Chains A and B, each alone.
Chain A
Amino acid sequence: MPPSFVEDRRKAALEVFESQPLPTWRRSGFWTTTLRRLRLDELEPRRYEPLDELPEIVRQDLGDEEHAGLIVQRGASVVYTHVADERITMMPLEQAVEERADLVEEYFAKRLPYDEGKFPAATAAFWTGGVFVHVPKDVQLERPIQVVWLIDEPDTAQYAHTLAVVGEFAECKIREYFVAPDLEGQALHAGAFELYALPGSHVNLAHYQDWGAGEVYDVSTRRVEIRRDAQVKWVPIHLGGHLTKQTLDIVTAEKGSDMRHTGMYFTERDEHLDLFSTDKHEEGHTTGDTVWKGALTGDSRASYEGLIHIVPGASETDTYLQTHQMLLSPKAKGDAIPSLIVEVDNVKASHGGTVGELDEEQIFYMMTRGLSRTEAVRVLVEGYFEEVVQRLEDPGLEALVRRRIAEKLRGAEQQVRDFVAERAEAA
């Protein structure tokens, strides 16, 4: 019998879930994210038996890199668990609430209230399997901790929860992969992720999302808390998903904590991406640096809104946020909005943003060196993302992201060429 802190939360969350309609997110201007085409009632949390071998799609993405620990959740079930480094605890969250109740109870949902909306409530009420990671004090991991969320059948609803606690002065890399083949039909991933980086720890965190060309909805909330003198480098990568609505928050909670938040997205076809990130400084003498870069092709829609929030009392905070967006098709529509809420004096906080198209001057320059227009565009887009890719500090994952960027560009080659030619003519 699971402990009451889990069960009570499920019950309370279920009430919230049932009392709320499907949400629509509207912002000033043209932007609306709606789930009206999502047939939530027809999706089910599919259960699977454990696997002896990793599914092909997972093997492809992970490569042959060795890990400290790996958990794969397929649909509603954890199907593969392998812990290579015995210093860490890594197991399904369902198991951890029983076996490591002491640790789980202290941190579970600490920064994830179930009543923030219909989907946070759904995740809190329905999560199964789940992932628990604990890296004890002073442990330094060379190899990454890997978590894979796999949806490989249509009509699947996956309610996910990952809880990661990195102990004092511990150092590690944590990667979550969100993958699906090109599904025929709908699926939902409703996820919750929380990381607590305890004092003095260093965490290199990445989220790699590539839900394929199927109709996968992803409505998730991810929160990172950074304690005294700890540092988290967080790199969210969005490379595919029919509709993605995510809240990504990173909090410097105590003095001396530092966040490096570097994200990217590349949307295509009729994909719809809506990201809202908050860099929240709850204490003074904290630092932050956020860079988000996006590119859009096809009829896709992508909105990134990034907020720096410095609360009263958090003086001597030094933080910066940049957003960039590159349109590669005449039909794509995008928005990149940086904003600031500063409730204290004596801080350094600034932001900047660009929404642009390919720079003709750069293309001309590269063509004078013998590169064709198509090559020039490819090199520019790859170079544009390179700053983000390198922050992964993980050769295997970097190679995967570069490969996918190149594939997407090849897929969009003709429309990008038309777009650039059209613009050249207009100019």
Chain B
Amino acid sequence: MTLEIRNLHVRTEEREILHGVDLVVKRGETHALMGPNGSGKSTLANTLMGNPVYEITEGRILLDGEDLTEADPDERAKAGLFMAFQYPATIPGVSVANFLRMALNAKRDEPIKVKEFGRVLGDSMDLLRIDRDFTSRYLNEGFSGGEKKRAEILQLAVLEPDFAVLDETDSGLDIDALRIVADGVNRMREPERGFLIITHYARLLGYVRPDFVHIMLDGRIVREGGPELADELEDKGYEWVREEVAAGAS
């Protein structure tokens, strides 16, 4: 039971961004994808979810063997994929609670009962220490950076996907908010669920310890290892990776 990314080449109208990425995340595993700005991390996350801005020119995306390479974003969601956005869209006029109920119902045959939904939502909000009046606000409208990230993790907690991609969820969070978000993610970790945590910094990985670390540079994964790789990167910086790769290539 796995999310498999095989030899993925991705381009926008202007240029190719990913030059053949291979990555396998098994259920129960937490992977960190690290890399400097512009290395292609967010492109990979968006491509996994089917963002139409990106075109896959080669390679495949498989979820538990099902080929999602050409699937629409809603089909991917129903197949079990989720992404916490780095910059989530604002949805005016639609409350957090309403949106969550629609999203939950989209994956179910029968609409969820009001009472059950209230319970599910309440539990997740307690987990993330979110105020009750938060859910009557329009989704992301006027939210601070931290509130947006928390709303993303709230969706993750309520929707309970099989595989979750967290795209720079740590960026812009103060240390308290980071701890709460990390707590939430840790409680979501279980044998049946895989995580791909995308981050620029090792900071979050101090709280959410990954099983594997991948380092991306210029649209390729150039180093892979265990959690100690994140620590090494924190000490030596991305320049070190860049030099290593250059040395290896010559």
Contact status of A368 and B92, CB under 8 A, knowing A373-B74, A375-B102, A424-B52: no
Residue of A365, A379, A382, A385 most packed against chain B (CB within 10 A): A365
Check B134 for interface membership: any CB of A closer than 8 A.
no
Q: With A364-B52, A383-B138 in contact, is A369–B92 under 8 Å at CB?
A: no
Interface size on B, residues (CB 8 A): 30
Asked if A370 lies at the interface with its beta carbon under 8 angstroms from chain B, I say yes
Q: Which residues of B contact A368 (CB under 8 A)?
A: 49-50, 73-74, 76-77, 81-83, 85
A362 proximal to B (CB < 8 A): yes
Tell me the bound Cα distance from A364 to B138 in angstroms: 18
Q: A369-B159, A370-B103 are in contact. Are A386 and B72 (CB under 8 A)?
A: no
Chain A residues lying within 8 Å of B49, measured Cβ to Cβ, are 364, 368
Inter-chain contact count A-B, CB under 8 Å?
Answer: 83
B84 to chain A, nearest CB (A): 10
A379-B103 in contact given A367-B74, A370-B78, A424-B52 (Cβ < 8 Å): no
Are A371 and B74 closer than 8 Å at their CB atoms? Answer: yes
Flag if B52 contacts A427 (CB, 8 Å).
yes
Mask of A374-394 contacts with B, CB within 8 angstroms, 1/0: 010001101111110000000
Q: Which residues in A have their C-beta under 8 angstroms from that of B74?
A: 367-368, 370-373
Measured between alpha carbons, how far is A385 from B92 in the docked complex, in Å?
9
Asked if residues A365 and B88 are in contact (CB atoms below 8 Å), the reply is yes
Is the C-beta of A361 less than 8 angstroms from some C-beta in chain B?
yes
Q: Distance (Å) between the CB of B119 and the closest chain A CB?
A: 20
A365 and B85 form a contact (CB under 8 A) = yes
Whether A373 touches B72, Cβ cut-off 8 Å, given contacts A360-B52, A383-B93, is yes
Name the distance in Å between A360's Cβ and chain B's nearest Cβ: 7
A311: Cβ under 8 A from any B Cβ: no
Chain A residues within 8 Å of chain B by Cβ, number: 25
A366 to B98, CA, bound (A): 12
Q: Which of A360, A370, A387 has the most CB of B within 10 A?
A: A370
Q: Output the nearest chain B residue to A376 by Cβ-Cβ distance.
A: B74
A18 contacts B by Cβ under 8 Å: no
B92 touches A387 (CB 8 A): yes
Does chain A have a CB within 8 A of B51? yes
Q: Check B89 for interface membership: any CB of A closer than 8 A.
A: yes
Are A367 and B72 closer than 8 Å at their CB atoms? Answer: yes
Closest to B73 in A: A367
19 A-B pairs (CB sep. < 8 Å): A360-B53, A361-B89, A362-B89, A364-B89, A365-B89, A365-B91, A366-B89, A368-B49, A368-B83, A368-B85, A369-B99, A369-B106, A370-B78, A371-B102, A372-B74, A373-B74, A384-B92, A386-B93, A427-B53
A115 to B210, CA, bound (A): 78
Give per-residue flags for A349-368: 1 if the beta carbon is below 8 A from chain B beta carbons, else 0. Answer: 00000000001111011111
Q: Chain B, 146-180, contact with A by CB distance < 8 Å: what is the 0/1 string?
A: 00000000010001000000000000000000000
